[in-house]
Structure 1
C-alpha cells in the first residue's frame, strides 16, 4: 500500500465491516474468506487485521482506522476497546479538521495584491495559491475536486470595434454571473485577459458539467458567448493537471464554436488524465439537476399536505430518510461517552490529539507548551492529565529549568524511561515539582522552521518499555498538532481582520442597500420590495460578510446596521418592505427597539433557513405582538432544505418564498414543478402566499403562473437597484427608525 492509493469501496474489507457487520478484528486472515479475497489485504502479506470505522460525532462515516500484521495475532480482539476509543477521538478530530478546512475556503478573501481590480475577483496569483492549497487538501482527505475554465469569445473584436469600455463591461458581467452561480466554498478567479477559472472542491466531473451548462445558459442570456472546459482531479496527477486538461477542452470548444468540426471528446488528453466516471455525491452540497429516484411516496389521500411536501423535497434532493444518528454503532456511542467522561469537558481539537498521545504512549499527562518570544517564559497552551499536576492552561513559567528547554537545546534525550537513572533529569527541580517518573517529549516547529514549543507526555512512575518509536509516534501527532495550531491562530487573525473591516464599514455608514421589486405574477404590478445589502466592491459577497461577522462576534451589530439602513426608505415607500433577519436577531431587544415605533403593516420579515431555531415558542412569543399590529412574516429559501419547512409549519408565515434553486429551470424539471405545486397548494390551505425567487426566463414565469404562484421576483422581471419611482409616495410621513 502507499499514500493516495484508491480502492473500490465495495471490494474493501472496511465495506464488509461497516455495511455488513463483519468482525472488526481478524486474528488470522487465512480463517476469513472475505478478508483473504479483499484487495486491501491482497496488496501485501497480511495475516491479522483490525478495522474500526471512523465516524464523526453525528454518525457520518469518514473513513476507517486499520491495523495489520504480517503474522497471526491470536489475542488481537483484546485491543478493540482502546482502538475504538482512538477511532472515536480521531473521528471527532477529522470532522473538526474537515469543517475548519471548509470554513477556511469560505473565508478566503484576497486583498488588493491578490484581487483583479476590474472584476473584483481573485487574480492569477491568488488562483495559483488556491490551486496548490486545495490540491493539498484533496490529497490529504482523498476528496474529489474539479476545475472549470471559460474564455469569452470575441473579446478582442469587441475591444477593437466598440472600445475597451465595452470589453470591460463584458468582463464585469461575466464575473457577476460566475459569482452569482457558484457556492461559497468555490474559488472564482480571472486568470487571464479574457479567461476565468473556477475551482470546485468536493465536485465530480458530472456535477461540474451541470454547472457548466448553467453558466453557458446564463451567459448566453446576458449576451455573452464563451467557451468552456472541465478537468477532474486525479490522485496521480493533481489539480494542476486538471487545470491543463480543462484548458485543452476549452480550446477544443472554442474551435468547435468557430466552425471547426472537432468533437469535444477528441480533445487532446493530458498525460495521466482520464475521464472519470460519475461518483455518488448525495452527501455533498448539491448544485442543480438532482438525482432522480423512484417515487416511493404513499398516495396523497394517505398523507397530510406537509408530509407530501417533505416527501417531494426528499425526492428532489435524492436524500435518504434514515436518521444518521440511528446508524451510529453502539460501540461508537460508548466510546464517545467514555472519552467525555474521562475528559470531563468538551474537547478542543488540540486537546483531542493530546488525549490520543497520552493514551497511545500509556502516559498520565500530555502537555503542549509554547515559548513566548524573547521573554524567557513558557506558556501552558493545552494540558490533559489523569493525575493532579500543579499546572493550569494559560500559566506562564520560567523556561530555563524545564524539560522543554533541555530537549530543544539538545541536552536531554527525547525518551526517558526512568528519570531516576538520567543524571540531568534527576538533578532538575521540575522533576520533583511535577513528580515526573518517565518522560517523552519532542520539539514543535512552525512551517517556516521557527521553534514553537514542545509536546510532552509523562507519568509519575518509570516505564522501561518506552522506546525511540514512542518518540516517533509523538512526532507524528505533533505534526498534526501544529497544523491545527496554525489553523486556530489563522482563525484568530481572521477574526481581528474582520473586526477592522467592520470598523471601517461602520465609519462609512454601514452596508449599502439596493431594492428588488416583488411583482404580482398576473399583471406584473409591483407590490413591494426586498432590501438587499451591498458591500464595498471587491470586499466579498454579502453572505460572506454576515458569516464572517457572526464568527467574529459582531454578527448582530452588522445585521442591525443593515436593517437600519433598509428602513430609512419607509417614509417614501409604496407597498411593503421585505428585510432579511436571522431568528437570533429577531429575539434580541435591540431589534425590538429598532422597529417598535414603525408602521409594522409595511414590514415583512424574511426568516431564512440558514440558522437553526433553538426555541420556536420563544420566537413566536416575540413575533406575536408585532404580527397583531400588522407585521408579516416570510420564510425564505423554501424547498432548499427541511429547516425551511420546519419554519413554515411552526411559524405559519404570511409568505413562503420558493428558493432560487427550485425556480431555476422549473420549466424543464418535473420534480421541481411537483414540489413547487405542492408548496403552492399547501400555502393556500394555511392562508399563505407564495413568492418565487430568481425568475430568469419567460418559460419559468409561465410555469409558475400555471402553478398558481401569486408573486415573484428575479432578473426577468426587474433588477435590484435604487427605489423605483413607481414605488415612491409623497403623501405620508413615517417616523424614522429609532
Structure 2
C-alpha cells in the first residue's frame, strides 16, 4: 500500500507539472508531498506486530479513509468530479480488494460513492450524464473489486485452514492425539526458560509402558497401537488443563507440569500410574514413571530430562509399576552426565549390545527392492533408539553411539544387494565421528540425514557430505519430510537424491485430503529437482494405493515387511504389495 502511494504521488506530480498553469497547483503539490512523508512514517511501523493484533486491521482501514480524503481534497482543488484525479479511487478499491475481507471492501466502496455523490451535488455546472457515467463506472469497479475480495478471502481462509491442519499433523502424534517428540521439546525449552526467568517451579514426569515389547510380540502391532491410544487417553483424563502430554518415543510419554513442585508432581504421577493400571484391557497394563523438577535439583533442560529418565530406569529396576521421584527412594542426584547415564551408554557401545534390523524399500510400481534401511535395536532394553541417542548426547557420546549403530549395520549387511540407508545426525557428520567407518562401508550407501539438531552452517554440512561422496560414493537422503521446517532447509541446501516422507503424512493418506494435497506438492517438487520420493510407514493396502496414485516412487512399512535381522533377497516381493483400490 505504501509503495502504491509513492507511485500515485509520482503520477500526480507529473500531472501537476504538465498543467501548472491551472489553479491550486502549489497547494496540491504540497498535499501530495505531505502524503508521501506520512506514508514513509507508516512504513516504519512494526507491521508484523500490528497484523498479529486483533484490532490491527483498523490501522489499514484508517489508512484507506485517509487516502480517500487525500484523493477527495485533490479532486476538489482540481475542479471536482471532472478531474482525472478521481481515477485514483479505482486504485484504492483495487488495493482493498487484495488486502481486505469483503465487508471492508463494501464499506470502502460505499464511502467512495458517498464522497463522489457529495462532490457532484456541490458542482452544479456538471451535466447529469457525466455524473451518472462517472458514478456508474466507479460503482462497477467497486462491485468487481468486492467480488474479487470475496474470492480472495475464501482462498485465504482455505489456505489458513490447510496450514492449521498441517500444523496439527506436524506437531501431533497421529496415533494417540498427544503432542509429538518435536512439539514437546519446543514446549519444554520454552517452559524451562520461563521457569528459570520467573523462578517458578516446573516439573517433568516421564512414563514408560511396562513390558510393551512383549505386548507387541504376543498380540501384534495393532493391539499395541490400541494400548498406546488408551494410555494416552488415560494420561489426558487425569492431567490438569495446564499440563502438557506428549508421546516422545515408542512407548514413552512425557508430562510437563508447570507451576508444580517436586512433591506435587509426585502425587500427580501416582494418580497417573493408578489410572493407567485401572484400564480395562484384555491384559494388565502398567507404567513406570520418573519425576524431576526445577529449580532444584535440576537446573536445565538436559538435567530435567536426565533425572526423569533416571527415575524411570530406577522404577524399572525396582519392579515396575511405580513412581520414582528424583532425590527419593534411594535415587541419588547425578553429579554430572558422566554418572549413571554415561555408564549405561558406554556399556551399550563397549559390550556391542546394538543389533541391526533391515527393512526393505520397494518400488511402488512393481515391488522390486531398491534397498534397505538399517534400524538399530538395543539388547535388553525397552527404550526406543531415539531415547538412547538422546541419552548418549547428554553424556557426550552421541557420535560414538551413532558410529556403533553404523558398525552393527555394516556387520550384518555386507551381503546386501541394493542400497543401504544409514541414519546420521548432522552433529555426528560435522564432528567426524562417523568418518572412521568409511573404509568398511559396502557400495551403495545412502546417508539418511535426520532432523535432530539446528544447523547454523549448511555449507559445512554440504562440504562434509561431498567429501563422503568423493571418498566412498555415498548418496544423500533427507529423512522425515513433512514433519517440520528444518528438513525443508535440508532439501534446499543439501541437494539430496532421496526424500523420505514422514509417517505422519502417510497415515490415513487415503482419507485425508490435506495430506494428499501436501504429498502431491512434494511429488511435483521432487520431479522438478530430480529427487526420488520414499513414503515411510505404509501399514495398510489403502495407504499403499493412495501413495501409488499420488505418484510416489518408493515405499516402506509394515505392510511390506517388518525390520528383520537378515534382509530378504533382492528377488523377494512383498506379500502386501498387491493391493486393490
What TM-score, normalized by structure 2, do the two folds share?
0.48
What TM-score, normalized by structure 1, do the two folds share?
0.39
Greater RCO (CA < 8 Å, at least 6 residues apart): 2
Largest Rg, 1 or 2: 2
